[in-house]
Amino acid sequence: MATKLISGATLVTSVINGDEITFQCEPRDSLLDVLRETLNLTGAKEGCNNGNCGACNVIMDGTLVNSCCVLAVETEGSRISTIEGIATADGLHPIQTAYLENAALQCGVCTPGFIVSTKALLDKNPSPTEHEIRFWLAGNLCRCTGYDKIVRAVQDAAEKMQEA
């Protein structure tokens, strides 16, 4: 979609993972459409396209959102962090390391959404209780793990980030 000029398209500029990016989109394109199809940021996954599974979660201006439920045109001037922006050149984020060390993923397709949600939680609440973790992550569906190891990974990440 990026390669042709779309009639009726709008130009939108936002900051994505620290880079100011201008893209064109149709009014009906979601942020998820643009991330995946236009910007090739395929880490956000489509599991339901109506806000029920959390696989497409990104952080927009400090708030956790389902990118499938945000219209791309709404992101003008926003700062957006996707899964691709969590690790740095220095290495993995402690949340990512905790997911690996706790075997908190199986098929891995929900994992980007969970990691982004976990980051939004720990940014807000650095030492959540188990109940707070489960409440916060209730918007992310995982069908493989039964959530046990995910909750433990979040607890582990919180602990390590507190120590750091």
Residue 54 or 77: the one with the smaller Cβ distance to other proteins is: 54
User: Looking at residue 6, what DSSP letter applies?
Assistant: P
DSSP for 87-154, please give it.
SBTTB--HHHHHHHHTT--SS-SSHHHHHHHHHHHHHH-SS--HHHHHHHGGGS--SSS-SHHHHHHH
User: Looking at residue 50, what DSSP letter applies?
Assistant: S
Residue of the chain from 108, 124, 126, 127 that contacts other proteins (CB under 8 A):
108
Least distance from C-beta 82 to other proteins, angstroms? 7
Total chain residues near other proteins (CB under 8 A)? 58
Residue of the chain from 149, 156, 157, 158 that contacts other proteins (CB under 8 A):
149
The two beta strands, 79-81 and 10-16, are parallel
In 3D, which of 49, 83, 87 has the Cα closest to residue 66? 49
Q: Which stretch binds other proteins (CB under 8 A): 59-67, 72-80, 106-114, 120-128?
A: 106-114
Interaction between residue 69 and other proteins (CB under 8 A):
no
Least distance from C-beta 79 to other proteins, angstroms? 18
Signed CA dihedral, 74, 76, 78, 81: sign only: positive
Q: Which residues bind other proteins (CB under 8 A)?
A: 1, 26, 28, 36, 40-50, 52-53, 55, 82-84, 86-87, 92, 96, 99-103, 105-112, 115, 133-135, 137-152
